[in-house]
Amino acid sequence: MRIIIEDSKEHKVHLNRVIEWFIGMVGYAIILIAVSLLFPKTLQIDSNYFGFWALIAAIIIFILNKTIKPILFWLTLPITGLTLGLFYPCINVFILYIVSFLLRNHFQIHGFWMAFLIAVIISILNMLMDSIVLTPLFRRKKV
């Protein structure tokens, strides 16, 4: 009987992680769409299928952030330290360019400096979404 109760708690934890991941991906896709509407000449996302390509881009960005970004961070740590952290958004720009390469015509970025600005805006909006939406939502569920 005790094993079943612990298994139930474990399933709730996994379900919360899946829900958090899904909300994060949808929110990140909305952020990408909003930024592409603000800067239509720099960031272009295919608007067919009601944001499908933005969701695919968000999933790819998430996967790259979990796999490649830590490696890039450690490789560029001296440069990031010398620039007092100003080089860190360049890693995000590089990830955006990888997504642009993978999705070809469905997700395109033009120009480095605007892509740098977009990476900073996406990072800020992502932090706001995490602190305003995700953290209060899951803090309420735990109580």
pLDDT digits (tens, 9 = 90+) for 55-78: 999 999 988 988 999 999 999 999
**Is pLDDT of 16 > 80?**
no
Whether 97 contacts 109, CB under 8 Å: yes
Cα dihedral 104, 30, 134, 10 in deg (nearest 10): -50
Q: How confident is residue 54, by pLDDT bands cut at 50, 70 and 90? A: very high
What is the residue range of 77's domain? Answer: 2-142
Q: What are phi and psi of 66, to 5 degrees?
A: -85, -20
Whether 73 contacts 91, CB under 8 Å: yes
56 or 10, greater pLDDT: 56
* Domain tally, the chain: 1
Q: What is the pLDDT of residues 88-98, one digit of tens each?
A: 889 999 999 99
pTM above 0.85, yes or no: no
Q: What percent of the chain has pLDDT over 90?
A: 34
19 or 16, greater pLDDT: 19
